[in-house]
Amino acid sequence: MARMMKAAIFVEPGRIVLDDKPIPDVGPLDALMRVTTTTICGTDVHILRGEYPVARGLTIGHEPVGVIEKLGSAVTGYSEGQRVIAGAITPSGWSNACLCGTCSQDGAGTRHGWKAMGGWKFGNTIDGCQAEYLLVPDAMANLAPVPDTLGDEQVLMCPDIMSTGFSGAENGGIRIGDTVAVFAQGPIGLCATAGARLSGAGLVIGVDRLPDRLAMARRMGADHVVDSGRLDAVAEIMRLTEGRGVDVAIEALGTQSTFEAALRVLRPGGTLSSLGVYSADLTIPVGAFAAGLGDHRIVTSLCPGGKERMRRLMSVVESGRVDLHAMVTHRFKLDDIERAYELFAHQRDGVLKVAITP
Amino acid sequence: MARMMKAAIFVEPGRIVLDDKPIPDVGPLDALMRVTTTTICGTDVHILRGEYPVARGLTIGHEPVGVIEKLGSAVTGYSEGQRVIAGAITPSGWSNACLCGTCSQDGAGTRHGWKAMGGWKFGNTIDGCQAEYLLVPDAMANLAPVPDTLGDEQVLMCPDIMSTGFSGAENGGIRIGDTVAVFAQGPIGLCATAGARLSGAGLVIGVDRLPDRLAMARRMGADHVVDSGRLDAVAEIMRLTEGRGVDVAIEALGTQSTFEAALRVLRPGGTLSSLGVYSADLTIPVGAFAAGLGDHRIVTSLCPGGKERMRRLMSVVESGRVDLHAMVTHRFKLDDIERAYELFAHQRDGVLKVAITP
Amino acid sequence: MARMMKAAIFVEPGRIVLDDKPIPDVGPLDALMRVTTTTICGTDVHILRGEYPVARGLTIGHEPVGVIEKLGSAVTGYSEGQRVIAGAITPSGWSNACLCGTCSQDGAGTRHGWKAMGGWKFGNTIDGCQAEYLLVPDAMANLAPVPDTLGDEQVLMCPDIMSTGFSGAENGGIRIGDTVAVFAQGPIGLCATAGARLSGAGLVIGVDRLPDRLAMARRMGADHVVDSGRLDAVAEIMRLTEGRGVDVAIEALGTQSTFEAALRVLRPGGTLSSLGVYSADLTIPVGAFAAGLGDHRIVTSLCPGGKERMRRLMSVVESGRVDLHAMVTHRFKLDDIERAYELFAHQRDGVLKVAITP
Amino acid sequence: MARMMKAAIFVEPGRIVLDDKPIPDVGPLDALMRVTTTTICGTDVHILRGEYPVARGLTIGHEPVGVIEKLGSAVTGYSEGQRVIAGAITPSGWSNACLCGTCSQDGAGTRHGWKAMGGWKFGNTIDGCQAEYLLVPDAMANLAPVPDTLGDEQVLMCPDIMSTGFSGAENGGIRIGDTVAVFAQGPIGLCATAGARLSGAGLVIGVDRLPDRLAMARRMGADHVVDSGRLDAVAEIMRLTEGRGVDVAIEALGTQSTFEAALRVLRPGGTLSSLGVYSADLTIPVGAFAAGLGDHRIVTSLCPGGKERMRRLMSVVESGRVDLHAMVTHRFKLDDIERAYELFAHQRDGVLKVAITP
């Protein structure tokens, strides 16, 4: 009989509950990870609310830190007991999308090899990591050993928000001396702020409505912060840049108003790097878009995954370049995950990220 | 007293007339070109209709082929009598925008050095070339000698539509073996089709409603053409690509429906390269945009200008890579330019491009 | 008892012989291909001569066309009997090198995940395809179905020389209107010539000493050819470019003299794209290198592999963009492969590529 | 009669002397700058020694900070008395090279528009800035206003060593999480170290023989320093990277040994970004080069110039990202410049950079 474990399961819109589930079997290319720390993502809240549909009974969560419990028969190069993380996105490595450099759109198993968002499997199309154990597919492409010098919470941001936020800076093509505005300073936006600073931006401007987040934005590298609850963010950014506008604007919320503001502050020839998950059609204002003649670029990113990405992000943490650890504001046992969702979903008590330990 | 010349002048919405105007004085950095051939652009029709506002009394036209009549006192490296073209976009070379690699957004003379569409001067912010003479600013950055082997009509497409259409392919980042769809096969779209073919696309699909244009699309390099008047272009492109979609979609009309169709046929991770001039806000459908998580890119281009761009385009013509000359369907004297506008604005008689000779 | 097959085996420097060998067993991630057509590469001749060391007893060859005979237990998405090719380079997809976009330096199984030339396995570190059967590792990353419309010889160049030659053009960053010189017009150089033309070069100059090869260079897309046996190639290219030099120079032989000539014809800011396999240290002449201040780039490429690369190359063939088929000058049965080596190694009878059919 | 000024003039190998010279006349596109601070570059020492030839009587120096004394008749957008800098490289903006994005190879006035190192004019092909006054050509492309918040010494590194050193990081294509080694920690190497750190490198290793320079390397952002006088730098870097090697190696000295070491520590697929000025042919060891099959890249850079580059660099200083000011170890009056050369040429007294004030 299968051994059982605790897992946070989507039951129906409004209900994610902790329940028993069999510990999964390990296929030849898989690895079973014993989860030691995980967290809740804004996307999980969308799932909780039924705004992003997943199958009933699915285990939620895509940000795992843990220990290898068991390796598939064809997996080499790892040992059981090793501390590892896996990215939120787990590319196969062998799909056409992966071989073409677009791993997050991994279409392994589909006819053509591309699938929109196909690399996002944990807590979306397969069981996730808000559980005692996690089955990692294509383990050799995805398991990244954690350096001994780093604790669980120090690498907890690597699987998703650090990778996502940094990709906003990377895809924006930030050059040394660029001016960058980051719209919204939730966990992703804060990481985008840190990533912009790390990429050589000469001036980083963080925008949000919450004083705690603006304070954290400064800590993550913003030179200026704009309280969009009190000021017109577009006007304020144009003032701060003396009318020049920004070279790169990063959208990190997923709303029309932030998307539009990001476009309005761009200089001609600038890039809008979008990270948000949009839930409705977007409008591009023709004026801000210079009728299509402004040499503007709008680029989108889904969190880069895979073991090499994780290795690089951990090396950045290890070198002390960023301290995202400060974003862990609350800690819960897995047994209390329902309370953690309650707190996180309502953004109570200044919560940024929670650490969940099974 | 100033010598006079004939010029096509914008009087008011609905009226562009041929009238007398003084031949301009030549400043130190300018050159005076005697125009030998020019043409009418779709943008000029927008100006005629009052859809794109310009000053009353402005000479229209931005596609000049001619002969150097007089050089400014500080201009070196050219000789009077030399055959030259200048791009539709005439960058100064010395603005911050130019020095940063975004010449078309040239803000020479502005506070920060960037100006949306600022490189487009002829027939927009200064007098254009539908006239006997044309004053070319920043002559050393913009005059490109025409090889003896090439006739006027062979280089007539270089200043605007060839440069614009090709930039749609270039900015799309086409790689060898890509599948590319080009939406609309007017002059710009036809050049984008030729540019996609020239850039190594493995499969080029041209879309339009007019049989003549679809026939020309084949001639310019389309492997398949789709008559969007008879078929659902999105469905047909998905059929032709066996469900994969395209790597790069080029929009060459400037409407919501072509923009949206271009997005709908993109594979995850694909690029929408937009060339159209939009006259209203655009909507991005959230589904086709994969909620912002599809690693899509939307890039826009304004016609690259400057003498080096012109030199390269002429070298492509000289090597026989493309024969855009075939797009000149009608010829008029400058004296008959009002009739030419009449024909071109109503797209009568299968007109693609007209050649106007003063 | 193992079933046996014929295979061309490296015995010792100077001797590659056809001998019996067991048909290999199929591991979970492998596929067994029945080879229907293969060929001999210049590299194989280096192996034959002992200039490139491989293990005694190894089956040679890395350019397979065939039919799937048997699939590993974990391989999905293919069916036995399907016509396929695999690239000369067979990336795992899951090494750090692959996940970082440098698949040819695949270090699957090594400590850090990178290994110089590690993606080249067939006929180098594992048995190759000059045999009746071939074991393909990481089959899901490497098997590319052949379209029904294409015959074996039409896709025979895809695994190596087309992929390698084209990568010379791609890595050179050729832009529309560039002038490109290709040094040496052997099979790789001819493919580089075709690739340069396909990438939008405005002028392509092919250099070689053999009239047959120069004739083939013209057929593959060279605008000019230079007989370096009769003329000083550097001087002639400077003459053809009127002193400007070339934007991109492709080296496709692997000698000091071609490498140096490629550097000498580069304009300031140009790129030397190197494809050759060098057998001795190279010298960079300080003058041609502008003392290191010329903004020159020297880039090298190892043949890109993987099923997506193969798919794209076959789509280019299918669209009729290139006809590399013309390079197959001789045909042999596998039983006669020793004679084929004899002909090919001595470049007798105008041989370019041979087709070998088991 | 012409007004006279003091200037440091090259007389013959071994002799640069301070002498009187006429203050230059100002042409229409020029500006006359009154120099307030300048410095001596390693290149100037090469000139002094006759290793880099310049015309006798030329004023040396290419790193100017000053005040606009007089503007040419065609120069707009500036005012006399304004504090400005100009880059060591002064692109025209209008040559083919500039319009093609390779400003440092500016061939303004040449037949084709490219000239190796052509952008370097000050103290090379025209009079330089170790003088009371400096004539700046193409002033509108080159004069960059200095923010009021920054003192002369804070921007003194922008014209050359900061721009050059940073370009080593930029051209290396450093990505977040890369490991970077910088060979030699003279002024250029120190700036490359700072630039690598600023570009997101996860680990930066500085190499030199002088303890002072290694200490400064740490201050500029190196995580590790390697004393190449005591240790085998290649072996030590391989140890520090646990055998992986580096993603990008920056050469900042201009010798065979540093060039070769940079190549030897590169991982397959890595980039050697070369900044040094070489005085002899270079050898590429075939093994370290993986016989040309390692997907290595060797890129070279000449200091980017132009007012937009200067603006960006000053914005980085203004934001406190780097403090290169610490590199000014000694200060001299222009009257004492011969003593300054003496000290700097012999690298006495731990000198890194000197500030010279007329």
Q: What is the mean pLDDT of chain B?
A: 97
Q: Beta strands A4-12 and A15-22: pairing type?
A: antiparallel
Place B1 in a pLDDT band, splitting at 50, 70 and 90: low
Q: Could you write out the DSSP letters of every residue in D261-289?
A: HHHHTEEEEEEEEE----SS-EEE-TTTT
pLDDT at res. C2: 77
pLDDT at res. C207: 98
**Does D158 or B2 have the greater pLDDT score?**
D158
Identity of residue C110: T
Given the structure tokens 């047909």, which residue do they identify? B236
pLDDT at res. A2: 77
pLDDT at res. C81: 98
Under DSSP, the state recorded for B268 is E
Contact state of D312 with A170 under an 8 Å Cβ cutoff = no
* CA A176 to each of CA A191, B115, D224, D263: distance values in angstroms, whole numbers, following the listed order: 18, 22, 23, 25
Q: Beta strands C65-71 and C31-37: pairing type?
A: antiparallel
What is the spatial distance between Cα D286 and Cα D263, in angstroms, rounded to a whole number? 10
Q: Which residues in chain D are contacts of A167 at CB distance < 8 A?
A: none
The angle that helices A256-264 and A233-240 make with each other, rounded to 10 degrees, is 30
Report the gap between the CA of C32 and the closest CA in chain B (Å): 28
What pLDDT, in 10s, does the model give residues A277-332?
Answer: 999 999 999 999 999 999 999 999 999 999 999 999 999 999 999 999 889 999 99
Q: How many CB pairs under 8 A join B and D?
A: 60
What pLDDT, in 10s, does the model give residues D244-290?
Answer: 999 999 999 999 999 999 999 999 999 999 999 999 999 999 999 99
Chains touching D by CB (3 or more pairs below 8 Å): A, B, C
Place D1 in a pLDDT band, splitting at 50, 70 and 90: low
What is the mean pLDDT of the segment spanning D51-74? 96
Residue D299: closest C-alpha in chain C: C297
Cβ neighbours for D152, distance < 8 A, ≥ 6 positions apart: D36, D37, D65, D355, D357
Nearest-by-Cβ selection for A141 from C94, C306, C307: C94
Q: What is the mean pLDDT of chain A?
A: 97
What pLDDT, in 10s, does the model give residues D151-164?
Answer: 999 999 999 999 99
Between vectors from CA C154 to CA C149 and to CA C160, what angle results, nearest 5°?
130
- Paired with B204 in beta bridges are B180
pLDDT at res. D2: 76
Contact state of A298 with B298 under an 8 Å Cβ cutoff = yes
Q: What is the mean pLDDT of chain C?
A: 97
Comparing CA positions, the residue from A322, A329, A316, A171 lying closest to residue A252 is A171
Which helix (H) or strand (E) segment holds residue D227: the answer is: strand D224-227
Contact state of C99 with A29 under an 8 Å Cβ cutoff = no
Q: For an interface test with B, which of D99, D138, D170, D310 has the most B Cβ atoms less than 10 Å from its Cβ?
A: D99
Q: Beta strands D179-183 and D246-251: pairing type?
A: parallel
What is the spatial distance between Cα B310 and Cα B40, in angstroms, rounded to a whole number? 19
Residue A110: closest C-alpha in chain C: C77
What is the mean pLDDT of the segment spanning A229-239? 98
Comparing CA positions, the residue from D337, D314, D280, D333 lying closest to residue D44 is D337
Place B2 in a pLDDT band, splitting at 50, 70 and 90: confident
Helix residue ranges per DSSP H, chain C: 42-48, 96-99, 139-142, 152-155, 163-171, 187-198, 211-220, 233-240, 256-264, 307-318, 337-345
Contact state of B29 with D92 under an 8 Å Cβ cutoff = no
What is the spatial distance between Cα B241 and Cα A145, in angstroms, rounded to a whole number? 41
Contact state of B244 with A114 under an 8 Å Cβ cutoff = yes
pLDDT at res. C235: 98
What pLDDT, in 10s, does the model give residues A100-145?
Answer: 999 999 999 999 999 999 999 999 999 999 999 999 999 999 999 9
The answer to whether residues C119 and C106 touch, using CB atoms and an 8 Å cutoff, is yes
Contact state of B96 with D138 under an 8 Å Cβ cutoff = no
CATH superfamily of B165-300: NAD(P)-binding Rossmann-like Domain (3.40.50.720)
Residue C306: closest C-alpha in chain A: A99
The answer to whether residues B6 and B358 touch, using CB atoms and an 8 Å cutoff, is yes
What is the spatial distance between Cα D229 and Cα D10, in angstroms, rounded to a whole number? 34
What is the spatial distance between Cα C322 and Cα C326, in angstroms, rounded to a whole number? 10
What is the spatial distance between Cα D307 and Cα D313, in angstroms, rounded to a whole number? 10
What pLDDT, in 10s, does the model give residues B98-132?
Answer: 999 999 999 999 999 999 999 999 999 999 999 99
Q: What class is the C162-300 domain?
A: alpha beta
Q: Which residues in chain D are contacts of B100 at CB distance < 8 A?
A: 308
What is the spatial distance between Cα C91 and Cα C105, in angstroms, rounded to a whole number? 8
What is the mean pLDDT of the segment spanning B58-72? 98
**CATH of the domain spanning A4-160+303-357:** 3.90.180.10
Nearest-by-Cβ selection for B292 from A120, A254, A293: A254
When the candidates are 3.40.1190.20, 1.10.1330.10, 3.90.180.10, 3.30.420.40, the CATH number that belongs to C4-161+303-357 is 3.90.180.10
What pLDDT, in 10s, does the model give residues B240-274?
Answer: 999 999 999 999 999 999 999 999 999 999 999 99
Q: In which residue ranges of chain C is pLDDT below 70?
A: 1
Which helix (H) or strand (E) segment holds residue C246: the answer is: strand C246-251
Torsions phi, psi for C139 (to 5 deg): -55, -35
**Helices vs. strands in chain A: H and E counts, helices first:** 11, 16
What pLDDT, in 10s, does the model give residues D2-27?
Answer: 799 999 999 999 999 999 999 999 99
- Paired with C273 in beta bridges are C250, C299
Report the gap between the CA of B338 and the closest CA in chain C (Å): 36
* CA D341 to each of CA A243, C192, D125, D346: distance values in angstroms, whole numbers, following the listed order: 44, 51, 21, 8
pLDDT at res. C1: 59
Residue C270: closest C-alpha in chain D: D102
What pLDDT, in 10s, does the model give residues D70-122?
Answer: 999 999 999 999 999 999 999 999 999 999 999 999 999 999 999 999 999 99
What are the sequence ranges of the domains in chain B? 4-161+303-357, 165-300
The angle that helices C187-198 and C211-220 make with each other, rounded to 10 degrees, is 30
Contact state of A293 with B100 under an 8 Å Cβ cutoff = no
